Every structure is written in C-alpha cells, then in structure tokens.
Chain A
Amino acid sequence: MKQLLSGNEALALGAYHAGVIVAAAYPGTPSTEILENLARLDGIYVEWSTNEKVALEVAMGAAYGGVRALATMKHVGLNVAADPFFAASTTGIIGGLVVVSCDDPGEHSSQGEQDNRHLARFAKVPMLEPTDSQEAYDLMDWVFKISEEFDTPVLLRATTRISHCKTVVDVNRARKSDLKPASFIRSPSKYVMVPSNARPRRNVMEDRIVKLCSYVENFPMNQMILQDRKLGIVTSGVAYQYAREVFKNASFLKLVTTYPIPANLVRRFAKEVERVVVVEELDPYLEEELRCLGIPVAGKEFIPIIGELTPEIVEQGATKAGLLPAAKHVSKPAAPPPQLPMRRPQLCAGCPHVGTEYILRKLCFKDSKVPGPIKEDEIIVTSDIGCYTLGVYPPLAALDTCACMGASIGQAIGLEKAKVPNKVVAVLGDSTFLHGGMTGLVDAVYNQANITVIILDNVTTAMTGHQGHPGTGISARGQKVTVVKLEEVVRGLGVKDVHVVNAFDLKAIESALKHCLDAKEPSVIISRAPCPLSVRVVNTPYKVDADECTSCYICLDIGCPAISLADDKAVIDASVCGGCTVCAQICPQQAIAKAA
C-alpha cells in the first residue's frame, strides 16, 4: 500500500513491523515523532524516559531480555546517552537493539550542530542512513537483523530533512508474528563488565567490525548508478537527493551503510569513474574514509562543512568547482531585496514563563547594557534548554547562559564557587529539571552552594509538542500514571528553602525571589502554571482602556504577541490574548482590565 509518510512515521512503522517490543525516548527535535507514532500502535511498550541515557538503558535491558528494542533521540541526546551507547557496544545484546539519532544540521531547533556519524565509528557500532522515507521504513527491518546477527547495537542516523520530509512509501510488510517472549540468559562474562570480562570483549568488538566490513560489501541498499563516467559522486542521506537533483548525468554511489563503509565497492566505483567527489552534509566523514582507502577525492573544498545543505548550495559549490557549467539563468531581482523585518520565535501569548522572566529582568538585569561587564548589585541568570530560553531575546532579555540540558545548575554552582561578586540564579523547566537538573541540585546541597534555582513548571514538555514527563503523571500513551511532585523531589534532595508560586502572580514571584536571594543556603522556587497550549485554557481576554493609556509602553516589556500599538496607544488583540493578566499587573495606570 502506497502511503505518504514522514521519515519519522516510516521509522516508527518500520520498527513496528520489524517486531520491536520496547521503545523508549526523550523528546527532542527532530526525533520526537518516532515515539509518538509508536505510542499509537498496540502490542508494544513505549515510554518517555526521563532522559536519553535512561531511554537507551531501558532499551538495552529489553534487548538483554532477548526482545527487539529501540531508543530514539536527537543528536545531542546521544551525547547524554553516550555512556550506555559505548557500554552496549562492549557487551553486545541478544535481542536487536537499534538506536536512532536524528541530527539537526543548521540547528533548526538545537543548541549546537554535530555530526553523529563520528559516534558510530567512535563506539564501533555499525551505522546505516536512509535517503528517504521508503528507505527509512525498509532499513528498520535490516538494522534489527544486523543487530542480532552481529550481537551489536546498531545506529540508524537520520537528519531533519529525512525525519521531517514526507515521501511515498510502499508499506509492504506486516508486523512480525513469530515474536519470541522475553527471557534472560545469565552470562556474566558478557554482561558484567569488570576489567577481566571487558578485556576479552574488546577482541569480540574488533572481530565484529572485520565481519561487518565484509557483510556491507553486499548490502542490497548500497547502490551504484553508472551514467556519465567523467564524474562519480559518493553520497549518503538526504545529500544523495540534492546531488541527484543537481548533477543530472553524473555517476553515483549511494551509501546506506556508512559505518563500516563497503571499501571494495567504493574502490570499484572509483575505478569506473574519472573523478570522485563526495557530496555530504556537515563533516567530511565519507571523504576521510575514502582518503584512508587511498582514493583521491574532493568534497569539502566546495560543499560547506557548516549548516544544512540545500540543492542550491550544492549547485553553487559544484559550479564554483567547475563540476557544472555556470548556472543557467536564475531569476535575479533588478534591485536588491530590502531588509525585511525578522520574525523571531517568541513566547506565546498567555505563556506562564513570561511573568517569571519579567521579574528576572527587573531584579537581576535592572537597566544594564548587555553585553558588557556586570555591576555588583546585578544578578547572574544561568539558564537551560526549553521554551523559556526564548526569554534571551528582547524585550525580556533576561538570561545569561544556555548550554545543555541541566547545565544551568552546575554553572550556577561554579560561578558561586569561583566567588564572582554577584548572586547567581539558575532557571530551568520542569522536564529539563527531571532530565538533567536533579544531580546538579543535589550537588548544590552537598557542596553548600548559595544559589537559587527557579523551576519554571508548565507541567509539560512544551517545546517539543507537549509530551508527558514524571511531573505530569501522563504516560507516553496518554494514560494517568504516578505523579512525581517536584516540591517533594526538591525537598528529598535536601533543599530546605522551597517556595511554590503561581507563575502568573508577579508579586508572589518577586517576593519569593527577593527572599531566596537573601538566604544563606541553596533555595528553590517552583513557578507553576500549565502551558495554555497544552491544557487548552480559554480565559477572558484583556483590553486596554485607551483613555487611561498614557503611552508609557511598559506593557511592551513582556514581549506579548497580543499587544501592539495603534495611534501610539497599546492595544490587545482579543483573538490572541491568553488572559494571563501579566500586562494588567505591570500597567502603572491600571489601564488594562478584563474585556467585558
């Protein structure tokens, strides 16, 4: 049956048909929809794990139990899960274990860009990459087979334009019916990695790679397309599609098995063509592999190493390198396009983060010029990964750092221990706190760091599209499960000074923060209100009384998309307003009130 599927939908369906029994993930763009799609299917256990490391460990345990297991994550998620990723490579598995890494070239929604192909080589784990949804679907069957046949986890790497691109898929399989029930076989020399057991496993790992090297030579999805022999292009992933689009007549070697690469196939291809060029996104990974085989090759001289490729980037590079004739006539404007106003991502109207970040701006940044040296009475705000990171943009401009999940707390401890003269506040979301913040907080307690941690609790994982987490008590299948109360966690970790405030109550937030900044011990404020997009609250909108408005524009300081100006007075768009009351609380004229 032909269906139009996104890469992530195809990966989910492919894994399901391959007989996956346990799937675990932490949400992260562009990987999130894989688990969301699996959660709609029966006969399989799915979970949102607290983080990617746990997700991979859950999948690893299931695979130890002899069933097929899947862990999916975004590129930086595999950094978090690197420890079990390497460990699983060492022990091997019994049931198939597949790890999906969805890289985000161009950082559409990420804090950094990285090429996770290196991690396959680094961890000595075989890697395969689809070039469209059909291959994503088909590959899922292969990767589980490879995993079981070679006793190894397998990395399936996708990128944003594979995961989030819809292409036609012939769905030609049904779910495997001969699934074996789980059973664990005791095997300490395989599973208990004390040094005396781990050393022999090293030999097993290297032997495995040798065997895989010959296996991939005949892998049916690697494809040699011989056309004009003057130019031979070696490529993989979505870059293959761009290359086919741009070089109409060249010869191609499409690699689906990218670690290890099929060395003899590549050599054969190189002999068939006059010149070999690699077209790949991000790092010169294939280029280096080819160079190690002694094949003269070009690639990154004309294909950028940074950012996402597009067909025109490939075309421009190829033209510059003389591989293509000068571009045919492309429509060029007579006048250069004028500078158009940007449309930056912004916190939504009614967002519960706005009030807290407004108070942070007021108390911590005061009126200081940013960037620049900080005055002693100002406060450093370390921050984290989530919607609230958008508070870095004006007019809120209330954050000093954002690095990786949970880092805000460790950074705050470090700044305090380095004895910067300023007080330090760490800000992170509920899901981020449970993902990577708890260990930082217990470190603050143990090492007596005098910092304040604000947990912006919107009771969901908002940025990736409202997934559950332990604090919500909603499972990946939308069922009610145990609610893990953040205030109990925080107290349990040893914090004594704990405040829970309503995220829309500016006075309460300000007074709690002032109290905590004066405290001589680690303190936590949980600023709580559900994300309005998640619970679909409809409040009465607010409106500005134009006669009372003195055009002071203080209400514009919260950056609310519902507020704009008309005839120099503030106006609220009732169709956008979330009725959160924050603007009414800061208006010095009390000119904003509930619309009748």
Chain B
Amino acid sequence: MKDVNVLMVGVGGQGVILASDAMSEIGVNSGYDVKKTDSLGMAQRGGSVVSHVRWGEHVFSPMVKRGETDFLVGFEQLEAARYAPYLRQGGVAIVADVTVIPISIIGGKTPYPSWKEIENILSQYTDQIYLIPAPQIAQEVGNPRAINMVILGFLSAFLELAPEAWTGNIRRRLPPKFLESSLKAFSRGVEEAKVMIQAKGVKR
C-alpha cells in the first residue's frame, strides 16, 4: 500500500470538507490507516479552507508536511497557488477552473493573479498541473454545486482503488435529490482525468 498525502484547499461553501470527509472514509474502508484535519477560518462563508488527508500503513501526524504532498487539490485557483509549497517535487496539482475574488482585492491594490501566474507558481514544484473545467462539467450534469464531485472523480483516477469504493461512499453521503447528478459529475471527472493524463503523456 502506497502512502497518499492529499491537501484539499478552497473557500468556505465549496464542499471541500465533504470531499475530504469522503476521501478519508474511503481510505479507512479500503484498509488504510487514515488521519485528516481541517483548518477553517472564522467566517462561515468565504474564508480559506484547508483539509489534510493522509492514507498510510500507520499515520502519525494528521498534517501533511510542507514539500510532501502527493496531490494538491485546489477547489479555487488562488488557494491552490497559496499552498503550492506543500507539493512534493513531482506531485500532482489538480485545480478547478474556479476563481473566488477575495474582498481584499475588490477596490484594493493587489490584482487577482491570472491562471498563467498561478501555473507559474505551481510549476516551481511540479510539471503535473491539471486545470479542470469542473464548473462547466457540473453545469452540464445539471448540478452546478457538484464541482467537488468532479474534482473527487478526477483525483480518483490517480489512485489505485476500484471506482465502487468511491461511488459507494458518495451514495451514502448525499441526499437522493442530488445523488444521480453527483455520481454523473464524479464519473465525468474520472473521464476528464483519463483524457488529460493521456494528453500530457505522463507515465504512471
């Protein structure tokens, strides 16, 4: 069993915690020791959210060490850039094509960085950078809030577990009303990953 260190980052209200909770439980059910910890800002909405998820034979620290993250999963571009130093050399950066402009920018001096700038920051650590059209896919499956499911699907394509390990957990977690569209979002995420990985020509 390979150890897996994941950092999921985003903004309050994006479903980061639901995704990291699911990922953690899936790890336990697949026989890993798992630890996970979240950092939430004071705000209910709009603050930074960071989830550390660690799968391993025996996990001690709940927090991933800087420079040792296998997968940096950004639900929002600026947050992905902020946590870039957590990536290990050659780790994978998965970033949803989502921008949430912070209040400090509106009418302020520092502009919101372009994707080019964010990509530049990430590329200091890895060349495996995937910007995924998660909002568009979520829109297409008819559930704009299922961005987190697209992301989870995309991430799952890099890990060794059977798809049922993921979808089974999602089934238990979501209300019936959103279930079908969420599962669709998940599998579209998986497909997207396969296409993008192939396009990149990275050997795994």
Residues of A within 8 A of B (CB): 2, 4, 108-109, 132, 161, 164-168, 238, 241-242, 244-245, 310-312, 315, 329-331, 333-335, 337-349, 387, 390, 395, 462-463, 465, 533, 553, 556, 559, 561, 563-565
* B68-103 with Cβ < 8 A to chain A: 78-79, 81-82, 84-85, 87-89, 101-103
* Given contact pairs A2-B28, A330-B66, A168 touches B33 in the complex (Cβ within 8 A): yes
* Given contact pairs A348-B44, A390-B42, A533-B44, A341 touches B104 in the complex (Cβ within 8 A): yes
6 contacts between A and B (CB under 8 A): A4-B24, A341-B108, A341-B111, A343-B11, A462-B44, A553-B107
Q: Is the CB of A165 within 8 A of B46?
A: no
Residues of B within 8 A of A (CB): 11, 21, 24-25, 28, 33-48, 59-63, 65-67, 78-79, 81-82, 84-85, 87-89, 101-108, 110-113, 117, 121, 124-125
Task: Give which listed residue, B25, B82, B105, contacts A4 with CB less than 8 A.
Answer: B25
- Taken together as a complex, chains A and B put the C-alpha atoms of A319 and B67 apart, in Å, by 16
- Taken together as a complex, chains A and B put the C-alpha atoms of A335 and B102 apart, in Å, by 25
* Given contact pairs A4-B25, A338-B121, A167 touches B34 in the complex (Cβ within 8 A): yes
Question: Which A residues are in CB contact (< 8 Å) with B117?
Answer: 338
Shortest Cβ gap from A571 to chain B (Å): 10
- Taken together as a complex, chains A and B put the C-alpha atoms of A164 and B17 apart, in Å, by 12
- Taken together as a complex, chains A and B put the C-alpha atoms of A167 and B66 apart, in Å, by 21
Shortest Cβ gap from A524 to chain B (Å): 27
Q: Is the CB of A168 within 8 A of B28?
A: yes
- Taken together as a complex, chains A and B put the C-alpha atoms of A232 and B67 apart, in Å, by 27
Question: Which A residues are in CB contact (< 8 Å) with B11?
Answer: 343
* Given contact pairs A166-B34, A333-B85, A343 touches B62 in the complex (Cβ within 8 A): no
**Which 10 pairs between the two chains have the least Cβ-Cβ distance?**
A345-B43, A333-B124, A330-B67, A245-B61, A165-B37, A244-B60, A331-B89, A345-B42, A165-B62, A245-B60
Shortest Cβ gap from A124 to chain B (Å): 32
Closest Cβ neighbor of B47 among chain A residues: A345
Question: Which A residues are in CB contact (< 8 Å) with B34?
Answer: 4, 166-168
Shortest Cβ gap from A133 to chain B (Å): 9
Further contacts, 19 of them, CB under 8 A, given A166-B35, A245-B61, A331-B67: A161-B63, A166-B24, A166-B34, A238-B62, A241-B60, A311-B61, A312-B67, A330-B66, A331-B125, A333-B125, A335-B124, A337-B124, A343-B47, A343-B78, A345-B41, A345-B46, A463-B42, A533-B44, A565-B106
Shortest Cβ gap from A334 to chain B (Å): 6
Shortest Cβ gap from B94 to chain A (Å): 17
Q: Is the CB of B24 within 8 A of A315?
A: no
- Taken together as a complex, chains A and B put the C-alpha atoms of A245 and B35 apart, in Å, by 13
Closest Cβ neighbor of A333 among chain B residues: B124
Q: Is the CB of B42 within 8 A of A109?
A: yes
